[in-house]
Amino acid sequence: MITTSSKLFFFSSFLALCFMLYPIEATSRLPDTEVEALKQIKKTLGWDLKNIDPCSKGGIISNPVRSTSEIINVSCDCSIAHDNFCHIIAIALVANGLSGEIPKELANITTLKTLSLEFNNFYGNLSVLGSLPHLEILHLTSNNFTGELPETFSNLITLKELRLGDNQFSGKIPNFIQKWTGLENLVIQGSGFTGPIPSEISYLLNLEDLRISDLNGPESKFPPLDNMTNLGVLILRSCNINDTIPKYLGNFKNLKTLDLSYNKLGGEIPKFLTSLSSIKYIYLTGNILTGQVPADWTAPIDLSYNNFSNSPETVTCQMSNMNLFASFAKGNNTGPLSCGQSKEKCPKYYYSFHINCGGDSSVQKGRITYESDSYKGVPFKKSTVESSNWAISTTGGDFMDNVHQYDLIQENETKLAIVDDVDLYTKARGSPISLTYYGFCLANGNYTVNLHFAEIVFINGTTYSSLGRRVFDVYIQVSI
């Protein structure tokens, strides 16, 4: 079996600010301190801000919208003070390829409520952000920040949304998060932090969206989230949690997405999960769950890579909302054949298979035919190429942070003129969590495995499309 789990971060769309100008008194403008701060920020970052006083012609009414284009935006409000001045309330520098440290002059814009610096190359000390007493939205996803979160972040008691994903932080998630009681959205995915999740997270009772993943460090128990009944999205993926699934999740009546994949959760699947009427997706991939596979699921559920005791023949696996790939106890697994036939029923034995990953047509190269791999069905169900001897299993239901609901098949965005057999590289299969190619009915013997890669997503340049870090985890295993 060949399993490719690509820790590829498909980054979220970002909060940008769309604005309309309304006439106000011609004398309305920014105070000198804020104008000077913008000048210094512009100088430090090489930021092209044509109008250094964005409030000179009018106040800005801002509305949050989602976009995938580059954003350079400053918004101000002329109604929050009685000093005949306008004041900056939001800065968005998103996906512009900007690099450098956060300018210390930013602390002079004390009226700032929104700061979005996502998808750039910022680095250095973040302490200055702790001097923004009214900050409500802070987006730092996909930069190069390192070190521990500064203690000054404990001052950000007005935060409602914090996104720290895809950075290179170190140390633990600080226990001063208990001061962020107004938080509604917290995203700490692939950020470099060490676990366990601090117990002080229990103070964040207003959370509606909690996403934490890829924590290093020791094993831990399930965090105390029992009073967070407002949660609609709960993702604790690869957090090294060694426990059972807590019963209190049955009280989360607003829960739509539950992802507890790649931990060490044992025991049986709690029956209360079947009664959550709001649930849309459940991911329990890569744990050590035992007992019987429930047969009364209505929501899509991914149970692959577990340790259930059912006989595969007793489970209704053809349901499009259930992935049971390699989910049974040792000796009971038959790989992708577990839902329809057993290894003993191979019509014949093979000595090879070749796949055009994500390709919608077969490609002939010499005497080798690379078979098409264009399956676009629900990712909860394994797919088998009936005319050959291989199958795929993709875990995870969707790319939850992507505005356009990222397709399972990614098409080429780069130039491949110097690559031989271009047709083999124009498309590729994506997967939200992990992707498995399983070869079956192979005769015993020694095999050579060749994997061919080409970058077809990140392009050369200085725009958002050229930013990205790709990490591969490739496993090659013998038959289960």
The pair of structure tokens assigned to 147 is 């070190």
Element (H, E) at 146: strand 146-147
**Residue 126 reports pLDDT greater than 50:** yes
> Tens digits of per-residue pLDDT, 49-64?
555 556 665 544 333 3
> Tens digits of per-residue pLDDT, 263-284?
999 999 988 887 788 898 899 9
Residue for token pair 């020694």: 446
Contact between 399 and 283 under an 8 Å Cβ cutoff? The reply is: no
Q: What is the pLDDT of residue 385?
A: 52
> Tens digits of per-residue pLDDT, 18-47?
222 333 333 447 888 888 888 888 887 776
Higher pLDDT, 60 or 238: 238
CA separation, residue 304 to residues 60, 274, 338, 341, 471 (Å): 50, 18, 12, 18, 22
272 CB contacts (<8 Å, ≥6 apart)?
247, 249, 250
DSSP string computed for 346-401: -SS-BS---EETT-SS-EEETTEEEEE----S-TTS-EE-TTSSEEEEEESS--TT
Element (H, E) at 437: strand 434-439
Tell me if the pTM is above 0.85: no
In our burial notation (b when 16+ CB lie closer than 10 A, e otherwise), range 376-411 reads eebbbbbbbeeebbbbbbbbbbbbbbeeeeeebbee
Q: What is the pLDDT of residue 409?
A: 80
> Tens digits of per-residue pLDDT, 319-337?
557 777 778 876 555 444 4
pLDDT tier at 153 (50, 70, 90 boundaries)? very high
Whole-angstrom distance, CA of residue 332 vs CA of residue 313: 10
**Residue 195 reports pLDDT greater than 90:** yes
State the Cα torsion 280-282-283-284 to the nearest 10°. 180
**Residue 457 reports pLDDT greater than 80:** no
pLDDT tier at 251 (50, 70, 90 boundaries)? very high
Q: What is the pLDDT of residue 11?
A: 28
Winning range, highest mean pLDDT, from 35-39, 83-87, 229-233, 327-331? 229-233
Q: What is the pLDDT of residue 402?
A: 47
Higher pLDDT, 434 or 310: 434
Residue for token pair 């839902």: 339
369 phi and psi, to 5 degrees?
A: -110, 115
Share of the chain above pLDDT 70, in %: 74
Whole-angstrom distance, CA of residue 204 vs CA of residue 177: 8
* N residues, the chain: 480
> What class, spelled out in words, does domain 11-170 have in CATH?
alpha beta
Handedness of CA 403, 405, 406, 412 (dihedral sign): negative
Share of the chain above pLDDT 90, in %: 34
Question: Which stretches of 45-120 are assigned E, i.e. beta strand?
Answer: 59-67, 71-77, 87-94, 99-101, 114-116
Domain ranges of the chain: 11-170
